[in-house]
Amino acid sequence: MTGQAKASVAQRVWDVVGAVSIRVKVLGIVLGVILVLGVFVIVQMRYVLDGALTGGLEEQGIALANSIARDAGALLTADDLTALRMLLAERRAHYSSESHNTLVDYLIVQSADGSEIVRDGRAASSAGAIPRDHGGFHGVYAVNGGRTIEIRSVIAQNGGLLRLGLSRDIIMQTVDRVTVQLLAITAVMVAVGFAAAFFLTWILTRPVLELVSATHAVAKGDFSPRVERWADDEIGELASAFNHMTESLAQAERERIDRDRLREQYISGVIGAQENERQRIARELHDSTSQSLTLLLVGLQNVKQTDDLVSVRTQVDDLRGVIANTLDEIRDISWRLRPRALDDLGLASAIRNYVQDYQRRHGIPVEAVISGLEGRLALEQETAVYRIVQEGLTNIARYAQANAVSLIVTRKAGRLKIIIEDDGVGFDPDEVARRRVSLGLHGIRERAALFGGTLTIESTPGQGTSLFIEMPVTETAEEHA
């Protein structure tokens, strides 16, 4: 079999084994180990017990053969064969009784030339006898397929031989009886092991199955399932980690839903603000700019119809004033849409200009500290920072009832920090977050998050508010058009 074929067979075997449950694997391992150990113990015990009992039987048979050989030698010397037959019959019957742990199959007395003189019992064939080493002049053989042990002892008086056949049936019965007992013990061990393994797998797999069920629920978007911690082991740690994970996922899902809701409100607010801004611009263009242009057209028509040069100059001066006012109005509208200073002079100057205009319009003093903004940032980042400052100060003017404001904008080591503080009425950040009413704060958070930034709010009712915004920034060498 090639290596590839072996790998294929091993893979198929593993596919079969891996397809069964953990409970079946554990039960199979436990039962397999018990059965293998049981079979090994039984085989080893049979071998050792058989050897020990056979050795004892051989030693006992040698002593018995020597004793009978001495008595038989005396009777042969007296040429008393009748007494010899009686001796063999009596010894065979005596040592085959229940009082002895032996069973004598036969006793044979042979002459020196091997001819049989007297026998008692039916001897097994000596063909294929297997000699067993016991030393000395004794001969020990396994005959009758190993079922009989034949011991041959020399008769000293005539040089003849005494052959004693001892049956191994008692040994085999004893070994079989012990084997049955061991099999019964093994069966009990299998039953106990099966019950213990079943209980163990139940303990091990129940929390795992709960984890699997909870995992399927989480995969479907349900983060509510929690699993019980059964013990303080590895599975218990896994259960705790899973519960912590689902709690984190549930919290993240709630935060995502809140963000989506606030984002929808923010987008709706932005769209509404855009529409209001369009309407405001349309009104300003209609009420102010349009009237100025109409006045300019009427003035030009009057100039056209006037022949008096002095009157023409006076009307031209008036028209120049109208044009100047119209340009100022257009610049003001343009600045509100996007301050030109942000493109021409940079972020720092645009913020300073806005702070000055803010103080003029709202009458709230602002202490502004701006540092580290000598270089230009990316256009999108400059716009985001400007709008964050604008939104933060606008919120103060609308809601804080503040008497003083502090603004710090600083950049250092690739990080930009914005701190906006006021001494106004303050609020409860948790309550505001729960009611989801502050679109301005959410807009600041969204703008900062677009560039990987964060917003931290510190406020207490009656003690003012502090906003901390931090985000990474990248300097660019390009000038903004």
Mind listing the pLDDT tens digit for each residue in 211-258? 778 888 888 878 777 777 777 777 778 778 878 888 888 888 888 887
Per-residue model confidence (pLDDT) at position 336: 61
| Region label for 325, one of left (φ > 0), alpha (ψ between -120 and 50) or beta (otherwise) | alpha
* Residue at 232 is within a domain: no
* Residue at 28 is within a domain: yes
Taking CA atoms, 462 is separated from 95, 422, 423, in Å, by: 116, 11, 8
Domain, as residue range, for 112: 18-184
For residue 434, what is the domain's CATH number?
A: 3.30.565.10
* Residue at 403 is within a domain: yes
Q: Average pLDDT, whole number, for the chain?
A: 80
Residue 138: which pLDDT band, with cuts at 50, 70 and 90? low
* Residue at 366 is within a domain: yes
Q: 185-204: buried (b, 16+ CB within 10 Å) or exposed (e) per residue?
A: ebeeeeeebeeebeeebeeb
Among 184, 199, 228, give the residue marking a domain's end.
184
Structurally, the chain folds into a number of domains equal to: 2
Please report where in the chains the tokens 């679109």 appear, as a residue. Answer: 439
What share of the chain has pLDDT > 70, as a percent? 78
Q: What is d(CA 86, CA 381) in angstroms, rounded to the nearest whole number?
A: 127
What is the token pair recorded at 305? Answer: 């119809």
* Residue at 145 is within a domain: yes
Among 146, 169, 184, give the residue marking a domain's end.
184
Whether 124 and 105 have beta carbons less than 8 Å apart is answered as yes
347 or 342, which is more confident?
Answer: 347
Q: What is d(CA 359, CA 394) in angstroms, rounded to the nearest whole number?
A: 11
Whether 343 and 480 have beta carbons less than 8 Å apart is answered as yes
Q: What is the pLDDT of residues 416-461, one digit of tens each?
A: 999 999 999 988 888 777 665 566 787 888 888 888 889 999 998 9
Q: What is d(CA 194, CA 32) in angstroms, rounded to the nearest whole number?
A: 10
For residue 160, what is the domain's CATH number?
A: 3.30.450
> Widest CA span of the chain, in angstroms?
192
For residue 454, give every residue at least 6 positions away whose Cβ sits within 8 Å of its Cβ, in sequence order, or none: 448, 469, 470, 471
Pairing of β 465-472 and β 405-412: unpaired
* Residue at 336 is within a domain: no
For residue 84, the Cα-to-chain-centroid distance in whole angstroms is: 88
Per-residue model confidence (pLDDT) at position 169: 86
> Following CA atoms 330, 331, 336, 342 in sequence, which dihedral angle do they give, to the nearest 10 degrees?
150
Among 184, 203, 224, give the residue marking a domain's end.
184
Radius of gyration (C-alpha) of the chain in whole angstroms: 56
What is the token pair recorded at 249? Answer: 């996922």
Per-residue model confidence (pLDDT) at position 368: 92
Residue 46 has pLDDT above 50, yes or no: yes
Is 0.85 topped by the overall pTM?
no
* Residue at 475 is within a domain: yes
Residue 398: which pLDDT band, with cuts at 50, 70 and 90? confident
Q: What is d(CA 25, CA 212) in angstroms, rounded to the nearest whole number?
A: 18
Q: What is d(CA 165, CA 151) in angstroms, rounded to the nearest whole number?
A: 6
* Residue at 353 is within a domain: yes
Whether 177 and 122 have beta carbons less than 8 Å apart is answered as no
Coil, strand, or helix at residue 201? helix
Whether 53 and 167 have beta carbons less than 8 Å apart is answered as no
Looking at residue 32, its amino acid is G
Residue 160: which pLDDT band, with cuts at 50, 70 and 90? confident
